[in-house]
Structure 1
Amino acid sequence: MTAALALDRTLAALADPCRRQVVDLLARGPRAAGDLAREVGVPAPAMSRHLKALKDSGLVEDSHPAFDARVRVYALRPEPMIHLLRWLEESERLWSEQLLAFKAHVERQA
């Protein structure tokens, strides 16, 4: 998968407020799908769809605890967020350069 496609998937997954809330919760530590559904306040089937979207984007991964294979525990994967952070830093650098050039142009005109 190209970096651009991975970034597109990350941004698409994070476009939903419920998924961003899930990411915020998972930033504090891994959680079972049922716990996430209760904390976010959505039915289990809806949470399942959100978790699938987050997993498909690569933002989260799931595992099964040894005591119960029916339970899925979700955790964040850092790689997609690192790519997003790099993209944001590059965007900020480009905008800063453009604004500095604009400022210099305006000051020359004055």
Structure 2
Amino acid sequence: MTALRPAEICRELLGALEVSEGRRKRRQRDTTPDAIGLGIKRHLLERAVQDDPGPDDFEGWLLERCGEAESEGGVRAMALQIFDEWRMASAVATFSDWLTHGAPSDDRQS
């Protein structure tokens, strides 16, 4: 498994997050909790791009972000998701390629 730079994957995940935001806005229910989670995730992704932690340091870097948060639970959940997505991008070429190509989705068209 080749560990990709977390900042590279996080930059690509920010693009994929836009698709999730589009789906959220079209839902017929109160999506406030979704918006909060996506906002937390966006903040973590933007910080990872800015700070550019190394592959060996990424898990610890995410843990530090959890410790800085006022509400650790939501940040921890999003940090775990980001860590899993980074690991998957490092291990699964098709997932990494999908991200590299802008995370294409039918949802992005609308």
> Normalising by structure 2, what TM-score?
0.36
Q: Which structure exhibits the higher relative contact order, with contacts defined as CA atoms closer than 8 Å and separated by 6 or more residues?
A: 2
TM-score relative to the length of structure 1: 0.36
Greater C-alpha Rg = 1
Point out the structure with the larger strand share.
Answer: 1
